[in-house]
Amino acid sequence: MRKGAQVYTVRAFLTDKAQCRESYRKIAGMGYDSVQTWPPAFMTPKELQEMLEEFNLVNCSSGAGYEKLLEGGAAVAEAAKTARIFNTKYVTVGTLPEELRYSRDGYKRYAASLNKIAADLKKEGCVLLYHHHALEFYSLGGGETGMDILTGETDPEGVHFTFDTHWLVAAGVDAADWIRKVKNRMTIIHFKDYAITSGAEYIEGVCKTFAEVGEGNIHWPAVVEACRYTGVEYVIVEQDTCKGDPFDSLKISFDNMVRLGV
């Protein structure tokens, strides 16, 4: 499995071309061979791809707006064109719209819309990618969650997933078990740890935070084993917030992944 970095982790250091170049240089220097990134407003996809090639970094996915992709036609063609610039077939969309998050019907409608987008992307040789948070594991009753619908009612060939270890644990589910459920539908996974901070103001409080891989409470050996079973190719470190320098956090995560056998 390749080890990569989601550049959202170092988003504060991507404000101009010079800063981007230095950030990618640092990421590659740690040993990462891939990233998950997007073109900032001041760079074209081609310019970003050339910068990544300078440091032998692979961008594992591209992105597009859900609402635009629903329009089909030119929007889908443009998304596929950008993906090809990055030499990837994966086009990722954001979290489902808020109005669809609270009912079985909402999740079913969203699953149907993902299938529509995926069918259009498939004609362009691309695969739709969905990255979850904790909210998709909302219980709809009868033992069914929103994620059950999103995985069960979407095209296995056209809709793939990027699971996130922190959000799986935050949702109260077995991370390794869910990773296994999407066998052959997950090439990219996000690794971030789930840590408990000290000093809760009241004993019922869950004072959780984002942490470097291996520095929190996730049982990583089971997760790594499940990733191998599922067919994960890119393990992408993402840390939404860091206590110190985010580049230091990325290095800690990289070294711990090596120790874990990733």
pLDDT one-digit tens code per residue, 159-177: 999 999 999 999 999 999 9
Q: How far is residue 121 from each of residues 1, 65, 114, 198, 223, measured CA to CA in Å?
A: 26, 13, 10, 46, 30
Number of domains in the chain: 1
Grouping H, G, I as helix, E, B as strand and the rest as coil, residue 200 is coil
Residue 159 dihedral angles phi and psi, to the nearest 5°:
-120, 115
pTM assigned to the model: 0.96
For residue 106, the model assigns a pLDDT of 98
For residue 201, the model assigns a pLDDT of 76
Alpha helices in the chain (DSSP H): 17-30, 45-54, 66-70, 74-85, 104-123, 146-152, 165-170, 175-181, 220-230, 246-260
Give the CATH number for residue 31: 3.20.20.150
Amino acid at 145: T
Strands in 188-191's sheet, in edge-to-edge order, are 58-59, 34-36, 2-6, 234-237, 188-191
For residue 98, the model assigns a pLDDT of 96
Count Cβ atoms below 10 Å from residue 138 Cβ, excluding itself: 16
For residue 205, the model assigns a pLDDT of 75
For residue 204, the model assigns a pLDDT of 78
Work out the burial of residue 27: count CB atoms within 10 Å of its CB; fewer than 13 is exposed, 13-18 middle, 19 or more buried: buried
Count Cβ atoms below 10 Å from residue 242 Cβ, excluding itself: 18
For residue 207, the model assigns a pLDDT of 86
Count Cβ atoms below 10 Å from residue 247 Cβ, excluding itself: 18
CA-CA-CA-CA torsion for 102, 114, 143, 162, nearest 10 degrees? -100
Q: Which domain holds residue 181?
A: 2-260
Residues with pLDDT less than 70, the chain: none
For residue 206, the model assigns a pLDDT of 81
For residue 198, the model assigns a pLDDT of 83
Helix (H) or strand (E) holding 190: strand 188-191
